[in-house]
Structure 1
């Protein structure tokens, strides 16, 4: 079967791999129809993805069709269209026992720690499939990205009419904005890409945009919040300088949520941190309930995923196009691969 393999940084190739076996008890065999390309895939292609090894089959944003199920599977049947929750957790560690499988001590994220979905067919635990009779494969492939943002907003405890600042207008930042707006927050986006700032305001309903390259960020934040600064700040950049600078932006008593990560140490001024009595939170992956909620919001029309997809390719075209998707001047927001 056709399989895209990232052999080493900068080299992705279309190979032929062995067909998967019949699904075991609790498993499902699925056909991959769509794969969304995310920041993790881009970082892996560049050789800058933490906790990563080569060769690797990328792909964890998936829209799939169930082909067959193993014994004991009741949540899906052949023919079901599904989104995939790609976080394979152990169900027994301390995090899993507390309902936090998203940060399982032995987690294996497909497409990152284990081979993913850039292939025609794959075996998955059936419990990781989230069906919808209404959504297209494109929409289903975007549920995981939205889940990252939904989980971060839920972690923050963001309330209606609070000010929320999202730093970074990539797909994960956009997902956080989507759910900050959904929560009724007065949402602000900070980025250095004018086109993305415009997209956030026109397509997502974000009220305020700040260009960090041309504007004084603190001055603008004070102006927007009537001198208070934002109640919640989400950093979705995975950039060390941005993450350390973000400690300056929350209001007194506010919350700072790191969605992105980098390999290294975060430092901050402790008196400033204590004086404001800030709450610092990490947000990782998403939980099963996030997937169900997001599917319902897309089905009801409250979330529109169509503007997200800016580039498309067939599996055969990907080796010749993937490098271009890593370049900002290409204008890629979300590339979608069709199998």
Structure 2
């Protein structure tokens, strides 16, 4: 089986290795067709991904075909030949958060392509209950469901409504997914990024109310002027940048919410008296829930979410080790890249 392994930072290798296709009870065998590349993969490649070890097979944004089912694996309606999106969060099912329906916060959670080997391979075995099928969507669309799930879950965490003024900091794929669902919920949306190209893309692909070019000296007063005297009731930071994440506190309206969608390896500090004075709610958003996958597939099938414009770059699977590093160059203007098998 052809597999791409990240041996250490900046060292991909295409290898051939044995694959045991014996299936356990309630397990499915997948043929991988599309692999979305996300920030986690880029961080791992650079050596900056928390909770990560090498060597590792990356790949958790997957569009796949079911080609085998273990005993008892057909109970949830999945059948051989189905096109599926893979929910890559393998939870234990018995810990306190799992019992409370917060499977994304499982105390022993293992994410495909992060904590255990993922889908940068021809074939993959996964529990059948981690598959979400569509009779309508194509493999490339199904590979985007997990990315969209991050934004969908974050917007639900913040309970965004049409009464909110939302600021999304960072217009990469995760920021775009937040924008997508905040817009579906009817909020007014401002987006901040250093890249005019990304801001223009967000406006053209989804539609936003305000585009803000980030700068080192941009202040809360500047933001208030742009928003005509108001401040954002919900701020999402999707940058994974320490300076941005800490500065984001200053952008939140009195009584508002700050949601960290991105993360970095380090400590977050803030001025506590101001935090209390404005009664800010601070939220972390991690991964997504099974219901998010179903919700997103439904929205995609109905045409409420159009992801065609998101896919700016792709590579044949065998060429990925050579091409991957070029996508880190800002001049490549990558929004979303995908490997094709």
Same fold flag (TM > 0.5): yes
Distance in structure 1 (CA, Å) of the matches to 2:340 and 2:123: 13
Per-residue CA deviation, residues 70-91 of structure 1 (Å, 9 max, x unaligned), is 1112221100000000000000
2:209 paired residue among 207, 210, 217: 207
Distance in structure 1 (CA, Å) of the matches to 2:303 and 2:221: 36
SS of residue matched to 2:318? coil
Distance in structure 2 (CA, Å) of the matches to 1:300 and 1:160: 21
How high is the TM-score relative to the length of structure 2? 0.97
State the partner residue of 2:291.
Answer: 289
Aligned pairs for 1:1-339 within 5 A? 1-73=1-73, 74-75=75-76, 76-213=78-215, 216-339=218-341
CA shift, 1:215, in A, is 7.7
Misfit runs of 4+, over 6 Å: none
Distance in structure 2 (CA, Å) of the matches to 1:20 and 1:87: 22
Distance in structure 2 (CA, Å) of the matches to 1:77 and 1:215: 56
CA shift, 1:18, in A, is 1.3
Superposition RMSD in Å: 1.1
SS of residue matched to 1:179? helix
Distance in structure 2 (CA, Å) of the matches to 1:27 and 1:323: 34
**How many pairs align?**
339
Greater CA drift, 67-76 or 211-220: 211-220
SS of residue matched to 2:255? coil
Per-residue CA deviation, residues 14-60 of structure 1 (Å, 9 max, x unaligned), is 11121232211110000000000001000111111111111110000
Distance in structure 2 (CA, Å) of the matches to 1:150 and 1:189: 17
SS of residue matched to 1:273? helix
How high is the TM-score relative to the length of structure 1? 0.98
CA shift, 1:206, in A, is 1.2
Q: Which runs of 5+ in 1 are unaligned?
A: none
Q: Which runs of 5+ in 2 are unaligned?
A: none
Residues 20 and 121 in structure 1, CA contact (< 8 A), matched pair in contact too: no
